[in-house]
Amino acid sequence: MTVLARSTEAGDALADRIITCPLPGGWRGPTFPVLNPATGAHLTDVADMGPDEAKAAVKAASQALASWAGRTAKERAAILMAWHDRILQNKDELARLLTLEMGKPLAEAAGEVAHGASYIAWFAEEAKRLYGDVIPTNDPNRRMLAIRQPIGVVAAITPWNFPSAMIMRKVAPALAAGCTVVIKPAEDTPLSAIALLQLAGEAGMPEGVLSLVTCRKPAEIARVLTDHRDVRKLSFTGSTAVGKLLMRQCADTVKKVSLELGGNAPFIVFADADLDTAVNSAMLAKFRNAGQTCISANRFLVEASVLPAFTEKLLARIAGLKAGDGLEAGTSLGPIINEAGLAKIDRLVTTAMEQGATLLTGGYRIERPGTFYAPTVLADVTPAMDISKAEIFGPVVTLSAFETEAEAIRLANDTDYGLAAYAFTREMGRLWRLPEALEFGMVAMNEGTVGSEAAPFGGVKESGIGREGSRVGIDEYAEIKYVGMGGIGAAR
């Protein structure tokens, strides 16, 4: 299970190799199906691992730790870069696999693979900069140091909406710091994870440094990982509800946790904004991945005087979206991941209408194979409605009007979430003061996306703990150790 042993024909395209042979060498245990959400087609069957496999993966990671941590940063960086290069060489195949199991349009999938790989290159460099401090001493006989060391074995639990990038964003800083990692991918999307591990093995990743545990039912595997004394860190991306559960489970062994959780992003448009920029950005912030991203715009707050114009422009753009199989040219809106996700969106929209929202377009499941929801716009949405409080995770725009900057800020901050926020204005003072007033970990001003390997990604409030990417991302996987040396004496 550590790095998958395969008896595949060399030369076959990577996606086909993974689909025809997804099982670790010698696997005789149960399996579970992976489906294509765009067609409902059965893609393949993947190993349904249990607690024994999870424990074995932790053991392998524990055994590999000392030698991996003992390598120089330059050696670890070289292996990370070999992995990065193999990923980019196989970008198209990884994207195809990702679209097959998750549904997002192929161009978005290719963008995700490249985005994820950028974290590997970034942290390969950061590995060499895990500096410590020499601290001015408080006693002439003492020398004082602070060194940064790998935290140990890391468990990484990842979601289905970015099956490739979320793995790379966690694994890269962990390996760079000298940690070893056990990954548990989402049950809907294990194939991208299998492919990434396959490429890691081919890139020379030593045995045990990176392991994968695929399973249909995550709770018991997560329990092994959170309870295990050898696992010193949990890095989780997923829903706030599961994040809270796992944080509680980690309390008994006082594990360090990083939690990248759900969001409820406001998208604020002031009357002085460039409306075309706002609408272009809205299309990205709302309809990328069919609205299934943690940073998706969830609540559109538009200054009353420009609400009619903004709505008209947005509806015109939405009419041009083309729902379909992500592998087909021209598709701009992929499916919802599964029936449960579709039912949740439909319930939120129906309830919003019962609570007084006005349906401007959409509001139905698209009748075709797979799990598709029509791009939807609801007007007259109020903060009291369920849809304003929930993370919609679908292609649904909710429109509300505001009159003043203070009201916009109050409405935007009226949520327990705090991941991303978007705001559009051309007023210079507001451009500076608004991000300071918004209670979110990331604020995009006059653009429709956040997220770069060079920028800190993460949330405040119930959207999470910790940051991924940027120069601080590696700190999540390092401990600071103080070293005091007595009896040294003064140099002169």
Task: Find the shortest distance in angstroms from Cβ 250 to ligand NAD.
Answer: 11
Shortest reach from residue 134's CB to ligand NAD, in Å: 35
- Whether residue 156 contacts residue 235, with contact meaning beta carbons closer than 8 Å, is answered with yes
- Closer CB to ligand NAD, 415 or 425, in the complex: 415
In order, the DSSP letters of 44-97 are: EEEE---HHHHHHHHHHHHHHHHHHHHS-HHHHHHHHHHHHHHHHHTHHHHHHH
Residue 377, burial from CB neighbour count under 10 angstroms (0-12, 13-18, 19+) = buried
Give CA–CA dist 360/397, Å, rounded: 10
The pair of three-digit structure tokens given for residue 279, joined into one six-digit string: 């609408």
**Distance of closest approach, residue 110 Cβ to ligand NAD, in angstroms:** 18
Q: CB nearer to ligand NAD: give 36 or 425.
A: 36
Phi (first) and psi of residue 188, to 5 degrees: -75, -25
Question: DSSP of 104-117, one letter per residue?
Answer: --HHHHHHHHHHHH
Nearer to ligand NAD, 326 or 469 (CB): 469
As given in the structure block, the two tokens for residue 456 are: 């800190």
Cβ atoms within 10 Å, residue 13: 13
CA distances from 488 to 141, 144, 491 (A): 5, 11, 9
In this structure, are residues 61 and 208 in contact, taking their beta carbons and an 8 Å threshold? yes
- Give me the half-sphere count of Cα atoms (radius 13 Å) on the Cβ side of residue 446: 11
Give me the residues that bind ligand NAD (CB under 6 A), please: 157-162, 166, 184, 186-187, 218-219, 222, 237-239, 242, 245-246, 260-263, 294, 391, 419, 459, 464
**CA 389 to CA 296: how far, in whole Å?**
14
Asked if residue 37 lies in contact with residue 335, where contact means CB atoms within 8 angstroms, the answer is: yes
Residue nearest to ligand NAD (CB): 238
Strands, E assignment, 403-440? 420-424
Question: Exactly one of 93, 101, 260, 468 is catalytic; which is it?
Answer: 260
Work out how close the CB of 448 gets to ligand NAD at its nearest, in angstroms, rounded to a whole number.
17
Nearer to ligand NAD, 42 or 244 (CB): 244
Residues 45, 216: Cα–Cα separation, whole Å:
11
In the annotation, is 260 catalytic? yes
Shortest CB 463 distance to ligand NAD, Å: 6
What is the bridge-based pairing of β-strands 358-361 and 376-379? antiparallel
CB of residue 29 vs ligand NAD: minimum separation in angstroms?
Answer: 18
What are the helix (H) ranges across 265-385? Answer: 275-287, 307-318, 339-354
Q: Name the minimum Å distance from CB 225 to ligand NAD.
A: 9
CB of 391 to ligand NAD, least distance (A): 5
Nearer to ligand NAD, 190 or 326 (CB): 190
CB nearer to ligand NAD: give 318 or 420: 420
Quick check: 256 and 233 in contact, CB under 8 A?
A: yes
- Indicate the residue among 424 and 440 with the shorter CB distance to ligand NAD: 440
Nearer to ligand NAD, 132 or 456 (CB): 456
Catalytic positions are 260
